[in-house]
Amino acid sequence: MTHEPAPHPTGAHKVRSRLELITTGTVHLRKKVGAADLWRRSLETPALWVVLFLVVGSWALVPGSFFARRAVPNTIADRDFVATRDFLLLDEEATGAKQVERRDAVLPVYDLDFEVAKRREEQVHELFAHGRRLLSREAGGGEAARQEVVRQLLQPSAAPDALRLTAAEIEIFLERRFSPELEDRIRGVLVQALRRGVVSDKTALLQNRLRGITLRNLSAGAEQVQLDLFGPISHPGEAREMFEAEVRDWGGFPPAERRALVDFLLTNLAVNLLPNRSETLSRQEAAAAGAGQVFNQIRKGQVIVRKGDVIDDGDAQVIAQMRGERRLLQQLPPLAGTLLLLGLVAAVVWLGLRREKVADHGPRRLFGEGLLLLLLSLLGAKFAFLVAGALSGVFDGPPFNVARSWAYATPFAVVGLLAALLLGRHAALLLSVLFSILASRLGVEGDSLWVVFYAFAGSLAAIFAVERHQFRQRLVMARVGALVGLNNVVLALILASFQSPGGRGWMEICFDLLCAFAGGLLAATLASFAVPILESLLGITTDIKLLELSNTNLPLLRDLAFKAPGTFQHSLMVANLSKEGCEAIGADPVLAYTCGLYHDIGKMLRPDYFIENQRPGQNRHDKLVPTMSVLILVNHVKDGLELAREHGLPRVLCDAIQQHHGTRLMKYFYNRALEQREGGAEVAEEKFRYPGPTPQNKVMGVLMLADAVEAASRTLTDPAPQKIRGLIRTIVDDCLHDGQLDQTDLTLSDLRHLSEAFLRVLANIFHQRVDYPGFDFNAGPKRERRPVAAAARAS
């Protein structure tokens, strides 16, 4: 709060020199595009973080080692390659041979369609019956009637499988007047051939004569293994021989007619025994799939290749599988699944954090910060699992040769700790769940479910510890680490109870518990180192940082105390008022207290221009025009911002410096300008207002009111509670009606609780005391010096 100066004359030359210093030293705040600005912009670019999350996340989660050198076939081994774990090696050659064997064991499938014989039998009967009807109608018609019958029988049918006739064949049937005897003979021959099965390529069929075929009767829906493959006849070879032999025994037919009948039978003989290649292939693939894979057992400690030996293809395959390496085509399915999982995680982070409020960070920035924490935690877990696997390979016997035991020391809880300190409880819970799911993809020894349970429960303990302990200093992290470590010990015991009885001895279990406790301590240690760095990178100020900044022995506050002692005392009062006010309305008291200490640091550059630092009768504003005085007062905000940036103060303290006056009117100098104007000239009110902005949240609104109330309370000659209450009400009403609190979300109920808190603090400060007997401290100085009185004044 700017205090109105008391009039006192000074020399004109001193005033001019001071004005030159002020105007030349005015800070012009320019927006500079640099590394910090680029980083801030990148945090607010969701697309960038999604791409980074997908790329780095898939790099970490897709199975395989990204740190070890690949074993190249046909090269000399520069060291011994020893199996670091027990695993099964897929024998691709043996697996392929087994699948081929299973495929070859599948019999070819042939489909026999007896419906063809039935249709042909019906068609022949219909042909002869139709012919007899035509002959009966055309009886006695002579040659013309005969030709009409031929013409009608030669008309093509719309049915695709209709009988095909020639004029010569019809003439033969007419000669026999479509006799039932000839009909029966033709039907019998066709049906006999079709029931044996007519095949187009008997050579291919006979290739299976040693093992047979699978014959499917499509009419009956049944199938059987057919070993006799000589019964079916081929079309047209064997069919012609069969038909010629049959027709030869028919009496009364000259050779030309017998040949015509054979041609008719061959033309209308349909192939009804067909190889079903698709069904055969399907059965072969099913058999191959059911063959299973052939594995070779590789034991931990087994030497794969010795130093100096040539690495052949088989050795390279063993080493690659031990490390989880895969070929590019083999990596595509897990890569696609991993990208889908990461995309879903990113979507959940966006939906879960878009309504969160952390400082002045919007949803886009919170999204980037959440993905950054997930990435850092995921990479840390990846590194820890690699170290766990490497350490287990160094030792030959239990308990140190079990990778899972070492993995218990992974600081899973660090994501919960960091998120709780930086982003709040809701964000911490969300990120802990997602991180536990992602970390399960890193599970050692083929086990991943324990990672989900262990990581999430540990993160929950960390979040609870953050809320349970009030962080007055960073050393509290040690207690948090111990609490998380004890929680991990309990989790390790629970997980041990699910393992097979007798599978692990007491030595192994004790080592598990030791690693689990170390994981909690390591999480707290990493968090204590990471929090200051992330505070700076993300522009988030935690309570730990604020409490450190509230130490009045810090250089900046000590400078304020020495250069502007009145302002320092005012700041202490504002800090206490703000803290009490925020506690009354449920806002952040730690932030309010620290903002109160720093809100007026800009006054230390020109302390003599502010009344709390002036001696009575020494007001430098008396010889200045009101507009110049306003410039000086406004500059203490700009100077404060410059000092805050020079000393690396957090953004929230810069906001407090910039917003604690809002756009309030400097009424003292505005009224002076009205009094000094000449000729009724207008005085623009905007020139006598602070540049703002107005307070943007509850804490900044409380700070503005505390600053104004504390300054105004100094003017009370009789600080009775009723007068203090009236002063507070006047200040609050003035700020409210001036629109200074519009952006703060302060309700009328909040303002009422604030007023009561301010009254309580100020009433305690301006309390009455009884007079000291024998002393009159309000009397003027006496000529004679009395030791007792002097001692009292010194105290």
pLDDT digits (tens, 9 = 90+) for 616-653: 666 677 677 778 888 888 888 999 999 999 998 888 89
Reported as a pLDDT band with limits 50, 70 and 90, residue 447 is low
pLDDT tens per residue, range 547-563: 889 998 999 999 999 99
Distance CA 318, CA 12 (A): 92
Chain-wide mean pLDDT for the chain? 81
Burial of 535 by CB count in 10 Å (0-12 exposed, 13-18 middle, 19+ buried)? middle
Residue 577 has pLDDT above 50, yes or no: yes
Count of Cβ atoms closer than 10 Å to residue 138 Cβ: 16
Task: Please report the pLDDT score of residue 466 as a whole number.
Answer: 82
pLDDT of residue 8: 40
SS3 for 581-628, per residue? HHHHHCCCHHHHHHHHHHCCHHHHHCHHHCHHHCCCCCCCCCCCCHHH
Residues 6+ apart with CB under 8 A from 238: 202
What pLDDT score does 679 carry? 64
Owner of token pair 């801030």: 40
Rounded Cα distance, 613 and 365, in Å: 42
More confident position, 601 or 26: 601
- pLDDT of residue 483 exceeding 70, the answer is yes
Q: Among 372, 456, 376, which Cα is nearest to 412's?
A: 456
Amino acid at 113: D
Residues 6 or more apart whose CB falls under 8 angstroms from that of 418 comprise: 373, 377, 527, 530, 531, 534
* For residues 473-502, average pLDDT: 80
Amino acid (one-letter) located at 704: M
Mean pLDDT confidence for 537-552: 86
Give the DSSP letter of residue 782: P
Burial 705-731 (b: 16+ CB within 10 A, else e): bbbbbbbbbeeeeebeeeebbebbeeb
Q: What is the pLDDT of residue 770?
A: 52
pLDDT of residue 350: 92
Kindly state the DSSP code that residue 685 receives in the 8-state scheme.
Answer: G
More confident residue, 84 or 408: 408
Domain 12-30+545-765 has CATH 1.10.3210: yes
pLDDT digits (tens, 9 = 90+) for 730-750: 999 999 998 999 988 899 999
Kindly report which listed range (124-138, 271-285, 495-509) carries the lowest average pLDDT score: 495-509
pLDDT tens digits for 460-469?
998 888 877 6
Reported as a pLDDT band with limits 50, 70 and 90, residue 20 is very low
pLDDT of residue 788: 32
- Of 238, 266, 187, 221, give the one whose Cα is nearest residue 114: 221
Is 689 within 8 Å of 664 (Cβ atoms)? yes
In this prediction, residue 23 carries a pLDDT of 40
Mean of the pLDDT values across residues 195-218? 87
The three-class DSSP label of residue 647 is coil
- Pick the range with the lowest mean pLDDT from 18-22, 91-95, 344-348: 18-22
The strand pairing partners of 465, in sequence order, are none
pLDDT score recorded for residue 371: 93
Quick one: average pLDDT of 559-588? 92
Q: Which two tokens stand for residue 40?
A: 């801030």
Mean pLDDT over residues 482-509, rounded? 81
Per domain, the residue ranges of the chain are: 12-30+545-765, 114-200+235-271, 353-524
pLDDT digits (tens, 9 = 90+) for 687-721: 888 887 999 999 999 999 999 999 888 888 878 88
- Alpha carbon distance 722, 759 (integer Å): 9
Say which residue, 294 or 438, is predicted with more confidence: 438
What DSSP string runs through 196-255?
H-EES-HHHHHTTTTT-EEEEETTTTEEEEE---SSSEETTHHHHHHHHHHHHT-TT--H
296 by DSSP, 3-state: which? strand
- Banded model confidence at residue 154, pLDDT cuts 50, 70, 90: confident
The predicted model scores a pTM of 0.60
Comparing C-alpha atoms, which of 667, 604, 621, 707 is closest to residue 6?
Answer: 621
Between 669 and 705, name the one with better pLDDT: 705
More confident residue, 411 or 768: 411
Size of the chain, expressed as the number of residues it contains? 795
Q: Which residues contact 174 (CB under 8 A, 6 or more apart)?
A: 131, 135, 146, 149, 150
DSSP 444-479: GGG--HHHHHHHHHHHHHHHHHHHHS--SSTTHHHH
Grade residue 471 by pLDDT with cuts at 50, 70 and 90: low
Instruction: Report CA torsion sign: 25, 27, 28, 33.
Output: positive
Is residue 701 a contact partner of residue 591, using CB atoms and an 8 Å limit?
no
Which element (helix H / strand E) includes 643? helix 626-646
Q: How far is CA 604 from CA 84, 406, 411, 456, 556, in A?
A: 66, 56, 46, 50, 10
